[in-house]
Structure 1
């Protein structure tokens, strides 16, 4: 996402001066993939201060595992450095509060890479709302679907552990909550939600047998596993493209990582997160969001409706049309004025990851955001915090069976960061 574009597109104004990770094998893979970055100095996870002193950077890009984000963001801000962080900005609301407080004391600023804002359809929806097409936003219905290929991937990796990812209402749904927050420009106030683990974990109905510590690459029960059989033929030659799962040839079989494999069994008993959520979010300015997400469905995409005092916007997207077992139409936006005829809006689609959003996001990150837009697309620490806070409120509400306020999640008294 960053190393390749810096070489190919932004080398005239940017260069990587240091890389830091706990896994030294990743450094080898990095240099093999990007020979032009071979000279870049590498540092172990405890050598952040040394890296700063020796490389004198302008910006820190935080793209490690979710639970590591907060400590590196805050450390960078303490050095008055700008930060580009992958979403989610942190895995807990209290860490988000600590980041905001650190940013207030720093000359640096935080940018969170919410690339969904840059998808052309999403940008057009923002413009329709700003133009007053639907008036004051009153309610939003957003139903997100992940298919059995993409959805199951989160349960094969570290995301399955809430301590590492915050759960999928944070790791994944922050994308969705940020989109809604950005579209309607309102502040989330309170959440009530339900959640469940319906498909994965040891009690999953399609679990071939209740055994832990299996891996897809070596499992003897793959022919009895409908999740595996759906996407792999018996000779294991089927390759299903997924931009979220790039398997590289490495020195540890097919996985270039030490002591970690991203093909863990989706039916392990250690899985402690949910795969299904429904939630209602109340906004301070009056809007109500009805949200659901399911991580094991026949096709991938979302259905959206935004209602206002003057009309309604609808859109349906099939995110992975090549994997859908039926023909899928090109995404359009349907606009229904409160009094008048329906309009179908065709949006120019772009090439690139996340619906063409990734290239546009990279341009804003490395060239600066264009000033001729009536709205801002780059996300800051406040945006990152609200998206995480809603996500944390979702799973906490589901566990505690009561409404959770955003103020409760972002409480100053709870603000703390795990330092190793």
Structure 2
């Protein structure tokens, strides 16, 4: 029986972790403690899950007390990104197992701290990279393992975030680098981890460019230079293309999205999810292009854009025996035009093209969420022929590439991944 304490009662905590524990995996897992800095989040969690109303609750400074009083064996970390490191380190010092939402931490310095702490602990760190579990992504891994592509030589990955989901990152705490590490860490670590895992190579060096093109005070669609606005009370929202694209005059439209709740703000303390996307304080990038070199010779060409008409990605992987291609239009992307079914197209170097229709499943992140939840709360599937759960090292390398992208874009030079992880002196 895992005795679980949850640190940070975010929407992701409730939907991705607490709900499946309570509804599917309660025979093997028990939530014994809740921790958050905001009492209102604790109250909301207990309203959603009345069966948790009587368990002990704690504030951040009471972590050790929580472990002692609850007899916890596992810590789920779903707090704001920059606070992950505090709970992970404390949990490892108590020899507990850690399940951390991605990104594991927000800086290479903290990633190195986690890896060093894990070496001294009886506990282990698992990073919930649920996008590995998407059925298309698992099929790609299996094709590579089967040698269909031969030795991997290059990857092209272009990621697209639409104007609803993309704008949401600039309405919340994610827009502050000190909290999120910037979007090359908060968001792109998903993608860097996928590539690292697919090709089973370690990133060595990254060179990148980044820019703030759409959001912030200089955004071309900013109705006015007024600062500190909120969508819910802004007198200029009818003049804002980002607002009117998704909201009618009576605010009766409900937009489907699994990252930010529609239909108003949750009653949290000193936190809103509708801050103006054109505020002066915004200085993180919303556009990146990057090249990553790997230790066994593969090269990644990557881009991401946070303000596009639709959401999804295009992927191509090249090897000495062939190439695969796939394109996804995201299920929640609100695309206003017909889209083709996603397939994987395989082109052997010599031979006929194959079109692979992947068996899909229900659930978030393309059906990946229910499967990772089984691995997290029942143990890894013993019949799967490859490792899929991510550990601390995988979390660290994804963060190193993300931080390298940002640092390279501001310093205009390549960044060595091992130097970043070892904490070499680089300009802030």
* Alignment partners' CA distance in 2, 1:247 and 1:237: 10
In structure 1, list runs of 5 or more residues that go unmatched.
415-420
- 2:125 is aligned to 110
Deviation at 1:300, TM superposition (A): 0.2
- 1:373 is aligned to 384
- 1:245 is aligned to 260
* Alignment partners' CA distance in 1, 2:283 and 2:67: 36
* Alignment partners' CA distance in 2, 1:373 and 1:29: 38
Question: 1:150 and 2:165 equivalent?
Answer: yes
Secondary structure, in 3 states, of the residue corresponding to 2:404?
helix
- 1:350 is aligned to 361
Deviation at 1:13, TM superposition (A): 1.1
- 1:411 is aligned to 422
- 1:418 is aligned to none
* Alignment partners' CA distance in 2, 1:351 and 1:388: 29
* Alignment partners' CA distance in 1, 2:37 and 2:381: 36
Deviation at 1:413, TM superposition (A): 6.0
* Alignment partners' CA distance in 1, 2:329 and 2:364: 14
* Alignment partners' CA distance in 2, 1:78 and 1:271: 36
Deviation at 1:3, TM superposition (A): 1.1
Equivalent residues in 2 for 1:271-282, closer than 5 Å = 271-282=282-293
Count of matched residue positions in the alignment of Structure 1 and Structure 2: 411
Give the TM-score taking structure 1 as reference length.
0.96
Equivalent residues in 2 for 1:325-404, closer than 5 Å = 325-404=336-415
Deviation at 1:245, TM superposition (A): 1.2
Secondary structure, in 3 states, of the residue corresponding to 1:386?
helix
Question: 1:74 and 2:89 equivalent?
Answer: yes
For the Cα contact (< 8 Å) 2:114–2:392, is it kept in 1? yes
- List per-residue Cα deviations over 1:298-328 (Å, max 9, x = no partner): 0000000000000000000001366101101
* Alignment partners' CA distance in 2, 1:73 and 1:51: 14
* Alignment partners' CA distance in 2, 1:254 and 1:268: 19
* Alignment partners' CA distance in 2, 1:364 and 1:191: 32
1:264 to 267, 275, 279: 275
In structure 2, list runs of 5 or more residues that go unmatched.
1-15
* Alignment partners' CA distance in 2, 1:390 and 1:412: 14
* Alignment partners' CA distance in 2, 1:20 and 1:397: 37
* Alignment partners' CA distance in 1, 2:236 and 2:302: 36
- 1:199 is aligned to 214
- 2:57 is aligned to 42
Q: Alpha carbons of 1:358 and 1:370: their partners in 2 closer, same or farther (altered >3 Å)?
A: same
Indicate the larger mover: 206-215 or 404-413.
Answer: 404-413
- List per-residue Cα deviations over 1:203-235 (Å, max 9, x = no partner): 000000011110011111111000000000001
* Alignment partners' CA distance in 2, 1:185 and 1:401: 28
Indicate the larger mover: 322-331 or 32-41.
Answer: 322-331
* Alignment partners' CA distance in 1, 2:221 and 2:55: 46
* Alignment partners' CA distance in 2, 1:86 and 1:197: 26
Question: 1:134 and 2:149 equivalent?
Answer: yes
For the Cα contact (< 8 Å) 1:397–1:404, is it kept in 2? yes
For the Cα contact (< 8 Å) 2:327–2:343, is it kept in 1? yes
